[in-house]
Structure 1
Amino acid sequence: MHTSVSPARIAVVQSDPQVGVEHRNANLTRTLALARKAIRAGANLIVLPELANTGYTFNSRAEAYAHAETLQGGRSVAAWADLARDHQVYVVAGFVEQAGMKLYNSAVLLGPDGLLGHYRKAHLWNQEKLWFTPGDLGFPVFETPIGRIGLLICWDIWFPEVPRVMAAQGVDLICSLNNWVWTPPPLFDESGRCMANYLTMTAAHVNNVYIAAANRIGSERGGRFLGCSMIAGTHGWPIGEVASPEEETILYADIDLSSARSAPIWNNLNDLPRDRRTDLYDETLGYRLHAPLPR
């Protein structure tokens, strides 16, 4: 009988934060309320969307600054950290980070003992390029008591190098924080999934990792958001349902995070890390700049 080594109940929160400094308090309060609801349902790892406390569609760089906070002194990060400590859980959340005069679209991983991880979005989407500086922290993987966790933000999933670099470092779970937007149709296929769902599923499958993708919903300054949050297993298929495009909801999955390290790919002769032809392409792709997968 299999005994779970790194049991986790993941909760992916799909919510509707709204831009505007007048909404900041309500946005933060809502993230905390939804996280507490997930905790009451037994979750010990809660994933909130990209820019969960501010909304997304800024009108100017100055407005983006008005929504920003620092990593160490920020009110939202402190509130999420208090929640993680008080309930002995792990929280992943996105916020506008100010570092000196630079702004970053950032995410934090918080645990019972405080800050465990910090990531700055590397691939900026559309007008984000006008407010934010591209991330400069690489694609780190963070050791936690429940497993190895990586962070990426929205447009990052369109670049297969991002999950691959984390997979090369032995990541068990990638938390994907998103504000997937409505783009020209077709938006959904007959199953109700969007393209970002398939990119998430593919990244999970080809890297043999879990991916917990939290997206937002709602409309904001003429733009709409796709919802469709999901949790993908190491086989790539969704664990449970893919969330609707329009409803605030929380998705759950009970998994053993460390099982990603021995997840089979159809048969016992297929091993994704071992079968990679690093002699042919690692030097070109630059993956050797990152720590290798532990053996």
Structure 2
Amino acid sequence: MSHTAASSQLHIAAIQQACSSDKAASLAASEKLVREAAKGGAQLVVLQELHATLYFCQTEDTSVFELAEPIPGPTSQRLSDLARELDIVLVGSIFERRMNGVYHNTAVVFEKDGSIAGLYRKMHIPDDPGFYEKFYFTPGDATFNDGHSGFTPIDTSVGRLGVLVCWDQWYPEAARLMALAGAEILIYPTAIGWDVTDDPEEQARQLEAWVTVQRGHAVANNLPVVAPNRVGIEPDPSSQSDGIRFWGNSFICGPQGEFLARGDDQSECILAVTVDRNRSESIRRIWPYFRDRRIDAYGDLLKRVRD
């Protein structure tokens, strides 16, 4: 999507919130913050991963599948109505019931008229202590019926959005494929936090790694990155652990990895910035990574290991 000089400025907001076991209450909190962001002039508003519920993947519990919804469905309709009323492009997150036995962790992009501009179904699914996502989520499709990759940007009235989700943020391949397909912004709705028993030094290393890898995607692809994360301590329903303290630290950085806004580790907040969509083009002219890629020498990236 091309942009004239008059339309190069884009006002973006990322929402950092705590979540509740009451789905209605969590959605109401999301809506309140989205309204505040729009009132402040945001044209693009991004919510965090699974913002309508607690992070239920701390345990494996078949009853949790009752939280899943089809798309379209009640939550997508509410977000659609909100985007249309506020005249914004809105990125939301839904535990999607695609069919009986197939569920996804899905980011949904709503256009200003409330229509669904596109879906992104999380491709990389973790299975770690406290993050048992493989029990709940089927990975997104590697290719669509039209032949496009699962890592395909979503076109909107505010630009081409490279939407990924949480665990995807650790993979440079995902960011690169979005960039190669013309993404103008990389977006990572997230739910990540600390084991509350980890010592402060380990917690600091984990947080710094999370921030650094995403800033690296911004630098390597000359694109802004928007990464909203949740806050608050959520208990382990099984009582097998002390739960997760979600570390917040949501941020938006520019195409050289520079911080434009950053949240703290405990407060709900709205990060609001203005980005110049022409900057990526300018930077690529002086740091021409895409020109110098040796695509003739990267074939082994398609192997699990190199012998």
TM range (shorter): 0.7 to 0.9
In the alignment, is the contact (CA less than 8 A) between 2:92 and 2:108 conserved in 1? yes
Corresponding residue pairs, total: 274
Aligned-partner SS, 2:135: helix
Q: How far did residue 208 of structure 1 move?
A: 0.7
Deviation per residue, 1:89-122 (Å, 9 max, x gap): 0100111000112111111011123101101111
Pairing 1:226–2:228 present = no
Q: How far did residue 194 of structure 1 move?
A: 2.8
Give the unaligned 5+ runs of structure 1.
287-295
Give the equivalent residue in structure 2 for 1:293.
Answer: none
Deviation per residue, 1:2-44 (Å, 9 max, x gap): 93433311101000112x3xx0110111111110010111111
Pairing 1:151–2:163 present = yes
Change (3 A) 1:86 1:234: same
Give the equivalent residue in structure 1 for 2:154.
Answer: 142
Aligned to 1:237, which of 258, 279, 286? Answer: 258
Distance 2:53 2:296 in 1: 45
Residue pairs, 1:1-295, within 5 angstroms: 3-18=5-20, 20=21, 23-58=22-57, 59-72=59-72, 74-101=73-100, 102-113=102-113, 114-126=115-127, 127-136=132-141, 138-183=150-195, 184=198, 185-188=201-204, 194-221=208-235, 222-240=243-261, 242-260=262-280, 262-264=281-283, 268-281=285-298, 283-285=299-301
Q: How far did residue 258 of structure 1 move?
A: 4.6
- Give the partner amino acid of 1:9: H
Change (3 A) 1:259 1:143: farther
Distance 1:14 1:63 in 2: 27
TM-score normalised by structure 2 residue count: 0.84
Change (3 A) 1:175 1:270: closer
Change (3 A) 1:179 1:269: closer
Deviation per residue, 1:40-70 (Å, 9 max, x gap): 1111111000001112124444233111111
TM-score normalised by structure 1 residue count: 0.87
Aligned-partner SS, 1:188: helix
Deviation per residue, 1:252-284 (Å, 9 max, x gap): 110133532x1316xx55312111111211x33
Q: How far did residue 180 of structure 1 move?
A: 1.2
Give the equivalent residue in structure 2 for 1:289.
Answer: none
Q: How far did residue 212 of structure 1 move?
A: 0.5
Aligned-partner SS, 1:42: coil
Aligned-partner SS, 1:182: strand
Q: Percent identity?
A: 32
Give the equivalent residue in structure 2 for 1:292.
Answer: none
In the alignment, is the contact (CA less than 8 A) between 2:162 and 2:179 conserved in 1? no
In the alignment, is the contact (CA less than 8 A) between 1:172 and 1:258 conserved in 2? no
Change (3 A) 1:264 1:15: same
Q: How far did residue 193 of structure 1 move?
A: 5.5
Aligned-partner SS, 1:9: strand
Give the unaligned 5+ runs of structure 2.
143-149, 236-242, 303-307
Deviating above 4 A after TM superposition, structure 1's stretches of 4 or more consecutive aligned residues are: none
In the alignment, is the contact (CA less than 8 A) between 2:26 and 2:52 conserved in 1? yes
Change (3 A) 1:275 1:69: same
Q: How far did residue 142 of structure 1 move?
A: 1.4
